Structure 1
């Protein structure tokens, strides 16, 4: 595979980010939605427990033969939101979907399903004393899960009754929460893979006043991390690259497409089986349903399969953000239709895919993919052959770092700055000088990420209004 590097590579990656940027922040006027697909559609806003908030995928920096995928649910968890706090939804499929042959259909589904038990029904308390382990008798509300790997050929149970890290109820209740989180890291497949489920600090960082007429109409509203202090429910998976690759050959077939979904029991749940589940939330690249999809289609997108994404093509061809930027900040909008964005957003980047003549992260780069069966669709695409960066750059591909967004997404990638700047053509020929100054003034998460799996920071304990 010939990955473009140097100045040409940076220009390519800017275009790649522009595709996702234009798609991701295409209507930044006041609207229903905040953050990276936090509360992005009317129906899912009413059921936050089922809401996918973010998806990350990257080659594991401390285990480069493996890939880590992190998916988050339930936005804006205030740490002191008791007495029920924030359990994962039950009777619900939390799925990470993998498409390794580019036909817009999941070839592999990793599915987490949760169950809840309560030790003492005579108390309102989440815990009745200091909790020192997942089986501590003082932990009243407990969750466990089953993890399955589903393909068209078989369903394999990878874990059963695995421990979920509880919500962090405070230092008095959980004096060593790091230990509880470590207990929830569960190895499987003879130790070659790991799973985690539990609460974590929300890793997304951004000033969400972008929705107030693009930071107040004069960029006066920047520099405030709107997610600071909030938690999310996190599922993390680390598996060897070959487990995801087409024909289990990550050297010949290194590109995979990834998206997460939430599906809940429908009216026919009593009949059992996957056909009785109704998909209610979907997330690939950040900010897509948040902003590119109009209000009339947001619920439809959450329920749609990637194979049906052609219906959303007009919103990619004519993104709204550049028009808004031109009207508010007098930055000229690029000419439409944006055929280059179609390649980046729906196919991944490759020389055979469209006008961006470089190879980066399309499944068509996989040796064993049949081009005739390739179908454009919205996915977070990761080229597993790109090694982790020794010094990751927060602007990812816009900054010349091939290991960052939109080639997958790392926890440290500043996706809002990438999308805004790249959508306005930061690396296109002769962009207006103002483009390079665009950003939200929030360049990193307020907590350092952990250096080992599951990488996310431990959950916040202080009230948001004090953090």
Structure 2
């Protein structure tokens, strides 16, 4: 969760495992969109001497659909190259005070390519990735190093790729223990005392690829988004993928795998938690490899979600109205697979058409909220999830409440949500590293020396 180790096969291949995808309007720069995709989950900051890094043999991509076909009309591709300097076993042989320091023995670079309607254009080459945050001696001023890795592409466009602090928060230990929510422990079938949630990903890092682009870069006609929310040309779909060559052969002379053949998708991520709590275990790997415009194959799992059936069983007597509701969940189908049509939520729509597909849907005509509500649309903030996804959005609570029935009245006014539906949560809050006010927004990664279990620190000593 959001997609940390979400399927059996991709959990064995963390460098290709997408963890979170974000798409939101820049909070202070109009007509600018921020796209972020995170990979390599649950990184302990002290994970050396072979610290975490992007894979040279993985194709990382952020896709945008701007038609009703749910196809990648605009794709940003990232390809990485790793260089090895010197004979040392160490990641670095002295302090790294600049991103170009020769004391860093394993620098990475990447090429950014934009593909629109089948035509490719290289936007940047040999862009440096910052080192990981090793510790107070090796990377004494990590904020400076990370800042050197932000590349301006012109016209307000920017790109960054490197290690960041994970901003997702969730109580994994409780949820995967028979669907327990600590704030509601006393109501659980196997009851325990109520307590606050425990953020399972606190103090962990991820690797991010981040883009800041103009709305005109993403619309079908190449013109800036308008201010008319009802205008469907303003709505885009966003998802991220990782792909590997179709064949891999281990070369014992090189001591590594060599890829052969065309790239094939091994991981994808649009809406948070889709694969975790919607797709059955036996189909999770197949889902990761399938194109998004084939998601009609999974529509029945959205329309009759297993979690909605489990909640009344795990919490006896708490969700009687949900237990009695047997109609297909048209609300979840709209939120996750088609976008919300005009007329369902007053003053809002992010409908992308009838093709069912798991992707974030962002209406670029909805302005950013200067006082954002982490509950997004459910909390009355139309600039938040499921209108795209901001980093601050509490997607676990939003989706729990949606599954519990708070969104059913949007499409079925005969249903009355259970009282607990509007209060259900895992009890966690964003106790991760502090977010930045500007690009790339995700917080500085915790350092290996200064971070202790459960307590993250980018600088100084925890």
**Does TM, normalized by the shorter one, top 0.5?**
yes
Alpha-carbon deviation of 1:351?
3.7
RMSD between superposed Cα atoms in Å: 2.2
Distance, in Å, in 1 between the alignment partners of 2:432 and 2:156 is 31
How far apart, CA to CA, are the structure 1 residues paired with 2:59 and 2:73?
A: 17
Q: Matches of 1:397 and 1:275 in 2, distance apart?
A: 44
Q: TM-score, normalised by structure 1?
A: 0.85
- For residue 315 of structure 1, give the secondary structure of its aligned residue in structure 2: helix
Q: Which residue of 1 aligns with 2:440?
A: 454
Q: Larger deviation: 210-219 or 233-242?
A: 210-219
Contact (CA 8 Å) 1:207, 1:222: kept in 2 or not? no
- Asked if 1:43 is matched to 2:28, the reply is no
Q: Secondary structure at the match of 2:21?
A: strand
User: Retained in 1: the 8 A contact 2:335–2:386?
Assistant: no
Structure 2: tracts of 5 or more residues without a match:
250-258, 410-414, 456-462
> Does 2:397 match 1:417?
yes
Counterpart position of 1:278 = 264
Residue matched to 1:360: 349
CA deviations on 1:146-189 (whole Å, 9 max, x unpaired) are: 0000123410000100011111101110110001110110011x
Give yes or no for contact 1:94–1:262 (8 Å, CA) kept in 2.
Answer: yes
CA deviations 1:87-140 (Å, max 9, x no partner) are 1011211000000012021101100000000111x2111111000111111111
Q: Which runs of 4+ in 1 moved over 4 A?
A: 355-359
Q: Secondary structure at the match of 2:442?
A: coil
Give the deviation of 1:247 after TM superposition.
0.6
Worse overlay, 432-441 or 380-389: 432-441
Instruction: Measure, in 2, the Cα distance between the counterparts of 1:323 and 1:387.
Output: 37
- In 2, Cα distance between the equivalents of 1:411 and 1:124? 37
The partner residue of 1:199 within 156, 163, 173 is 163
Instruction: Note the C-alpha offset of 1:328.
Output: 1.4
Looking at structure 2, the residues matched to 261 and 74 of structure 1 have their Cα atoms a distance apart, in angstroms, of 13
Separation (CA, whole Å) in 2 of partners of 1:466 and 1:110: 34
* Shift in CA distance, 146/379, structure 1 to aligned 2, threshold 3 Å: same
Q: Could you give the per-residue CA deviations for residues 5-51 of structure 1, whole angstroms, max 9, x where no partner exists?
A: xxxxxxxxxxxxxxxxxxxxxxxxxxxxxx20100000000011110
Cα displacement (A) at 1:346:
1.4
1:224: how far off? 0.9
C-alpha offsets along residues 64-97 of structure 1, whole Å, 9 cap, x if unaligned? 2200011000001000000011110112110000
Q: Distance in 1 between matches of 2:392 and 2:454?
A: 24
**Would you say how many aligned residue pairs link Structure 1 and Structure 2?**
418
SS in 1 for 2:441: coil
Is 1:231 aligned to 2:205, yes or no? yes
1:177 and 2:142 aligned: yes
- The 1-side partners of 2:118 and 2:432 are apart by 44
The answer for the alignment partner of 1:338 in structure 2 is: 329
Residues 192 and 399 of structure 1, relative CA distance in 2, 3 Å threshold: same
Q: What SS does the corresponding residue of 1:42 show, helix, strand or coil?
A: coil
In the aligned structure 1, how far is the partner of 2:454 from the partner of 2:168?
Answer: 19
* Separation in 1, partners of 2:21, 2:49: 28
Higher relative contact order (CA 8 A, sep 6+): 1
In structure 2, which of residues 330, 338, 361 is the aligned counterpart of residue 347 of structure 1? Answer: 338
- Structure 2 counterpart of 1:385: 365
2:66 matched residue in structure 1: 100
- 2:215 corresponds in structure 1 to 241
Q: Are the aligned partners of 2:278 and 2:302 in contact in 1 as well (CA < 8 Å)?
A: yes
Report the equivalent of 1:439: 425
Q: What's 1:294 paired with? A: 280
Verify: 1:126 aligned to 2:117, yes or no.
no
- The unaligned stretches of length 5 or more in structure 1 are 1-34, 365-373
Q: TM-score normalised to the size of structure 2?
A: 0.86
Question: Cα distance, 1:212 vs. partner?
Answer: 1.0
Q: Does the 8 Å CA contact 2:299/2:356 hold for their aligned counterparts?
A: no
Matched, 1:314 2:300: yes
| One of 305, 308, 328 as aligned partner of 2:314 | 328
CA contact (8 A) 2:2 2:168 kept: yes
Q: 1:183 to 1:432 in 2, by over 3 A?
A: same
- Specify the SS of the correspondent of 2:211: strand
In the alignment, is the contact (CA less than 8 A) between 1:268 and 1:276 conserved in 2? no
